[in-house]
Amino acid sequence: MEEMLSKLLEAARADAGLRARLLASREAADPLSDFCAKASAAGCPITVGELVAVGEAYGANLLKSVNGGAEYPMEGWDDAYEMFLAALL
């Protein structure tokens, strides 16, 4: 899943139209579904469940690390959609 998001990020950085469409998903009635539909149309099939799961897995891995793990959840770091958009801006 991380590879798919990386591929999509590279494509969006190279294609201003794709970048604009992905950023416009923030204004949709259902931003995650809209984002996933646009990502899939761009050749990066992503489902809402996968997007949520990758964020939750990342947040959980931060907390369970033995050496240097966070003692508390870092707010927003488990939101893969918002983190993707932040990287795109």
Choose between 66 and 8: higher pLDDT: 8
CB-based contacts of 70, cutoff 8 Å, min separation 6: 62, 63
pLDDT tens digits, 49-77: 999 988 777 666 666 665 665 566 656 56
Tokens linked to 80: 């893969």
Range of the domain at 55: 2-88
Minimum mean pLDDT among 17-21, 34-38, 72-76: which range? 72-76
Domain tally for the chain? Answer: 1
As a whole number of angstroms, the distance between CA 3 and CA 16 comes to 21
Residue 55 has what pLDDT?
77
pTM of the predicted protein model: 0.81
